Structure 1
Amino acid sequence: MPFVLFIIIPLLLLIVILLISCICLVPQATAYVMEWLGVYNATWEAGLHFRVPFLMRVAKKVSLKEQVVDFKPQPVITRDNVTMQIDTVVFFQVTDAKLFTYGVERPMAAIENLTATTLRNIIGEMELDHTLTSRDVINTKITAILDQATDKWGIKVNRVEVKNIIPPAEIQDAMEKQMKAERQRREAILRAEGEKRSAILVAEGEKESAILRADAVREQRIREAQGEAQAIMEVQKALADSLKLLNEAAPSDRVLALKGLEALEKVADGKATKLIIPSDMQNLAGLVTSVKEMLTDAPADKK
């Protein structure tokens, strides 16, 4: 009995191991290329599968995710005989695991060589200036060519990006000098525009200041004129009021004569070099006599 158990237990373990080896679990976004006795049998997608031990094997595990490959810079020559280094990045995805497994040996090396060859052909038809300013055109052309060439390998090239274009050292120096000169030119333009704007602002400020000063002088003169006019009006009004009061008081001839003498006195005190004397001197003498009598009567009345 112990001998039987010694034989049965290893057999059971072996059977369990064989059963476990028959189970194959394929991960998501992965494909297994299966061979039967060394010949392609099937392509297993994600999920649970069973295989026959010793007769079936996984020939290749293929990732179906989009992959990115950054190739080292490749030397290319432009149409005007300028040698430069171009660094490219290829985005691709495996669409057929069988073709990817059996279509080409070392697919990554094949894509790299094909990319370099295609890039040389495209750049060889372009001049240096056009190359530096036409990355989108280069990307579009090389993507179309690579996608068509790699289709028989079960690979789809989604896009190719020119990551960096490195011209020769002497051209880089010339480009740097040109860029420096361009920066200096732009700085000079900005500085000149700033000075121009500053001068305009100063001129506008001076103009506004002059306008304000002129307005202030004009306002002052208007106010002075208005004051003088108001003063003249007040004087005329006072004179009119005095005449009105005098008229209402019904002055006698003597009072009128006295007012006439006062007016004559003011005329005589003025700066005029000529004095006009009434022609009727008798009236003037009579006027003086009347004034004298008024002055004599005034003290008598007080007594």
Structure 2
Amino acid sequence: MNSIVSFLNGGGLGAVIRGGLGAVILIVVLIVLAFNAFFVVKQQNAVIIERLGRFSAILGAGLHAKVPFIDRKAATVSLRTMKNGFDIDVKTQDNVTIGLEVSVQYHVSYERGETPAQSGVYKSYYMLQQPVAQMRDFITDALRSSIPVYTLDEVFAKKDDIAKDVNATVSGQMAAYGFTLVSTLITKIALPAEVENSMNDINAAQRKRAAAQELAEADRIKRVTEATAEAEAMEKAGEGIAAQRKAIALGIKDSLEIIQETGIGNDEANQLFMFTQWSEMMTEFARTGKTSTVVLPSDFSQSASMFEQMLAATKATDDKR
């Protein structure tokens, strides 16, 4: 008991307390140093380490360590492809001011270089403070240099070629600052309202003119086809009539020859043939049932009168056809 009192009176408790507090402080300091010394870099990122304000190293994805309070993470640079859109006003060769919506995809160059200072990560951080603004200026300058050589219609027709040329030009400029342009696209061409209305009116007029030309051509083809068909039909009809007349003439010739072979004279044969033809004509006339008036001769021996009647009836039949 006396020894415990002596220990307390002698300051032993204070020493123990002071020793325990120091250990706690040391542990806390070590924990803080550990958190400050070790860090993790995420995938598709790179960390720039500076030592006492000067560039030290570029670290990729994974667990890394640095000297606490001496080294610091100056920047975390994303290596993923990024996208930005710009609205740029340009003038065409025919003095039309148009608005272009340009979409750009780019990323920090993956080039490492022989030294860290030649790598894309180093250049992107240390050589250009505002890369997006600088990229916009480069693209604007390239477009305003290339568009004025094209008319408005050519801009619409060749916008992809123009975008490729701009991408090639700006890629070379941004490469010096550690950036790679993946693609440059002209996604929209905006026209002044009055120009757009005028173009719509012109297009509508052109379509109407084309439609009218097509209709006229169709009508011409129809008329030519009908005329050709009619001419061919008339030609065929004429050939048919000629063949019919030829057949009739041959039939008459054969009939007369047969009649004459029986010994009947030419005059009697002709009269008999004419009477037979007249009878057949009257029979056909009665069969068709068409209304008409026919004057018959009172004496069939008058061949001349019969022949005149036959001619009159034949003419009437031809007129009806």
CA distance in 1, matches of 2:254, 2:60: 110
Give the conservation status (yes or no) of the 8 Å contact 1:34–1:58. Answer: yes
Q: Cα gap change, 1:235/1:25 in structure 2, threshold over 3 Å: closer, same or farther?
A: farther
Asked whether 1:34 is paired with 2:48, we answer yes
Asked whether 1:211 is paired with 2:235, we answer yes
Unaligned ranges ≥5, structure 2: 1-19, 110-119, 273-300, 305-321
TM-aligned CA deviation for residue 142 of structure 1: 2.4
1:142-162 per-residue CA deviation (whole Å, 9 max, x = no partner) reads 223312221122112244333
Residue in structure 2 matched with residue 247 of structure 1 by the alignment: none
CA distance in 1, matches of 2:235, 2:64: 100
TM-aligned CA deviation for residue 193 of structure 1: 0.9
1:124-176 per-residue CA deviation (whole Å, 9 max, x = no partner) reads 56665665665356334422331222112211224433333333333223222
CA distance in 1, matches of 2:173, 2:76: 22
Letter in 2 for 1:154: G
CA distance in 2, matches of 1:160, 1:90: 5
% same residue: 20
Residue in structure 2 matched with residue 69 of structure 1 by the alignment: 84
The structure with the larger Rg is: 1
TM-aligned CA deviation for residue 87 of structure 1: 1.9
Letter in 2 for 1:103: M
CA distance in 1, matches of 2:303, 2:153: 99
Give the conservation status (yes or no) of the 8 Å contact 1:31–1:97. Answer: no
Q: Cα gap change, 1:229/1:164 in structure 2, threshold over 3 Å: closer, same or farther?
A: same
Letter in 2 for 1:203: A
Residue in structure 1 matched with residue 142 of structure 2 by the alignment: 118
CA distance in 2, matches of 1:74, 1:40: 37
Residue in structure 2 matched with residue 143 of structure 1 by the alignment: 167
Give the conservation status (yes or no) of the 8 Å contact 1:31–1:43. Answer: no
CA distance in 2, matches of 1:127, 1:204: 48
CA distance in 2, matches of 1:135, 1:41: 45
Residue in structure 2 matched with residue 60 of structure 1 by the alignment: 76
- 98, 113, 122: which one pairs with 2:122? 98
Q: Cα gap change, 1:176/1:226 in structure 2, threshold over 3 Å: closer, same or farther?
A: same
Residue in structure 2 matched with residue 177 of structure 1 by the alignment: 201
Alignment partner of 1:153: what SS?
A: coil
Count of residues in correspondence between the two structures: 235
Residue in structure 1 matched with residue 102 of structure 2 by the alignment: 88
TM-aligned CA deviation for residue 75 of structure 1: 2.5
Asked whether 1:221 is paired with 2:245, we answer yes
Residue in structure 2 matched with residue 251 of structure 1 by the alignment: none
Q: Cα gap change, 1:232/1:87 in structure 2, threshold over 3 Å: closer, same or farther?
A: same
CA distance in 1, matches of 2:234, 2:89: 70
Residue in structure 1 matched with residue 220 of structure 2 by the alignment: 196
Q: Cα gap change, 1:219/1:68 in structure 2, threshold over 3 Å: closer, same or farther?
A: farther
Q: Cα gap change, 1:151/1:272 in structure 2, threshold over 3 Å: closer, same or farther?
A: closer
Alignment partner of 1:176: what SS?
A: helix
Give the conservation status (yes or no) of the 8 Å contact 1:139–1:160. Answer: yes
